[in-house]
Amino acid sequence: MSDQTEWNYSPAPESAKQAHISGRYEHFINGKWTAPKEGDYFSTTNPANGKKIAEVASGSQADVNAAVKAARAAYEGPWGKLSARDRGKYIYRIARLIQERAREFAIIETLDGGKPIRESRDVDIPLAANHFFYYAGWADKLEYAFPNRKIASLGVAGQVIPWNFPLLMAAWKIAPALATGNTVVLKPAETTPLTSLKLAELIAESGLPEGVVNIVTGAGETGAAIVNHADVNKVAFTGSTSVGKLIQKSVAGSNKKVTLELGGKAANIILDDAAIDQAVEGIVNGIYFNQGHVCCAGSRLFVQESVFDEVMWKLKRRMDTLIVGDPLDKNTDVGAINSKEQLRTIEKYIKTGREEGSEMYQTSCKLPASGNWCAPTVFTNVAQSSTIAQEEIFGPVLAVQTFRTVPEVIEKANNTPYGLSAGVWSDKGARLFQISSNLDAGVVWGNTYNQFDPTSPFGGYKESGFGREGGLHGLAAYLDM
C-alpha cells in the first residue's frame, strides 16, 4: 500500500477572499431583500471546519405566502405579457452573469457545501450556466419544440432542492420554468443556501421583472409550505425518497403538476472485456469524487468474477492516491461531508456493513482534525440482501459484488427499489446495449460515468421518482399541453 505522505502535492488553495458573502441574508421576494416575518434566522456553516459562514432567514408560512403572491402578480403582470423573445434575453443575461462570476460561485459552493473546488469550478458552475444558456435558446422556439401541440405555461412553480449540487439544482429548476413563461418560488437546502442567494443578487442585477424569481430560505417546514400552497401550480422537488413520498401524498387530489427527482443506488457494472484502468477511474469518479454526495453515485459495483482480483487490486491502489482534505485546495479529490448529521448516517452504514459480515477497506489518509470527514471506503463480500447494497448511503462508501453471467448481473442490478442511473463497462458495443436496455434506470452510462449535459433528460424510475429534467423533457414538465 502506498502512503500519501511519501509524495505530496504542494497546497494550491483557492482564496476564500474572492467570495463576497454577507453576514446575514434575508429572503429574496418580489425583487427585494425581505426580512423574515417572524424574525428567525439560522446559521450556515463550513463543513470543512465547522465555522459559521452567515446567518440566513428562516421562512415561515407568512414568508412563503408573500413569495407566492409576488410570483402570481408577476405571472399575471409583466412576465406574462413579455414576448417569448424577451424572456429568452433575460435568461441569456443570467447565464452570462453566472459565467462572469463563475470563480466566486465556485468558491461559495465549496465553502458552504464542502465539495472540492475542482468539482465546483469544473462541473457545478459551468453546467449551471449551460442550463441557462440552453433553455434561453428554447424560450422563443417552444412551438418548434412541441409542434402541433397547444401549449401554455402553468403559473407559479414551487421548487425545493437538496444540498449536493446547490446552484446546479437551482439552474435545473429555474431555467426551464422561466423559458416556458412560469414564475418561481425556490427553496434551497438549509445547509447550502448561499449560492442560491448569490444567484438572487445576480437575478436582481439582470433586471428580471420583480417577483419572477423568489428565493425563500429555511428547512423542511418552509419547503412543505411551498409545496402545499394552494396558489402553486407546479411542484418540482429534488431530494430524498422519503420526503418525495410525503410530497406526493400531500399534493394528491390537487391539480398541481409534479416532478420528483429522488434517491438512487446505481449499479456500476464491469464486464471481463472492459478496459480495466479506465473502468477503475470511472468507479472512483462515480463514488469518491464529491464524497459520494451524488444521487446517481455508482454506489454498487458489480465485477465479473474473472477480473475481480485485478479490479480490486487496482481500485485499492487508486483509492490510496486520493487526496482527502481542504475542499478549497485545487489538488483535493474528496472534500468534507456536508453536515454532521450526514456524517453520522454514513458512519452508521459503515458499522452496519461490518456487522453484517462484509469486509471493509478504508484508505489510511490523514483526516483533518476539525470538520466532517470520511475516508474513501469499499466493502467486499457483500450479499445482495446487505443493508449497504440496498439502501442509499450518500457518502464515499462502495459495496462490491461479483457475477458470472450477463442475465445474473441484470437481475442483481435491478434488484433495488431505486432506478436512477447505472454504468456499464465493456469493449463490445453489443454487450453495452444489451445490458443497458435491460436495466431499470433513467440514465445508463457506457464506458464513462457521471456525464451531464443540459440537452439530455435526467430522471428516475421506481422509487427514484418520475418526470425528467434537462432537454426537451425538462421543458414539457413546465407546460400544459
Contact positions toward ligand NAD, by CB under 6 A? 160-164, 187, 189-190, 219-220, 223-224, 227, 238-240, 243, 246-247, 261-264, 295, 392, 394, 420, 460, 464-465
> Shortest distance, CB of residue 8 to ligand NAD, whole angstroms?
33
Q: How far is the CB of 11 from ligand NAD (least distance, A)?
A: 30
Point out the catalytic residue in the list 14, 210, 261, 392.
261
190 is catalytic: no
The SS3 of residue 71 is helix
Provide the greatest CA pair distance for the chain.
Answer: 65
Q: How far is the CB of 45 from ligand NAD (least distance, A)?
A: 15
* CA distances (Å), origin 470, targets 18, 140, 176, 386: 31, 17, 8, 34
Residue labelled with grid coordinates 412576465: 79
3-state secondary structure of 29: strand
CB 207, min distance to ligand NAD, A: 28
User: Would you say 165 or 302 has its CB closer to ligand NAD?
Assistant: 165
Residue 272 grid coordinates:
471481463
Taking the alpha carbons at both ends of the chain, their separation in whole angstroms is 59
Beta bridge partners of 184: 157, 213
Tell me the C-alpha distance between 25 and 86, whole Å.
30
Lookup result for grid cell 459562514: 53
- Backbone φ and ψ of 348, nearest 5°: -65, -40
- 404 and 306 in contact (C-beta within 8 Å)? no
Nearer to ligand NAD, 45 or 153 (CB): 45
**C-alpha span between 215 and 217 (Å, rounded):** 7
- List the grid coordinates of 273: 472485456
- Closer to ligand NAD by CB, 99 or 240: give it: 240
- Which residue is at the shortest CB distance from ligand NAD? 223
* Catalytic annotation present for 295: yes
Residue closer to ligand NAD (CB basis): 110 or 299: 299
Q: Tell me if 94 sits within 8 A of 102, measured CB to CB.
A: no
Q: Which is nearer to ligand NAD, 87 or 265 (CB)?
A: 265
> Choosing from 104, 295, 365, 391, which is the catalytic residue?
295
Q: State the minimum distance, in angstroms, from the CB of residue 284 to ligand NAD.
A: 19
Q: How far is the CB of 425 from ligand NAD (least distance, A)?
A: 23
Q: Which is nearer to ligand NAD, 408 or 453 (CB)?
A: 453
**Do β-strands 421-425 and 443-446 pair in parallel, antiparallel, or remain unpaired?**
parallel
Residues identified as active-site: 261, 295
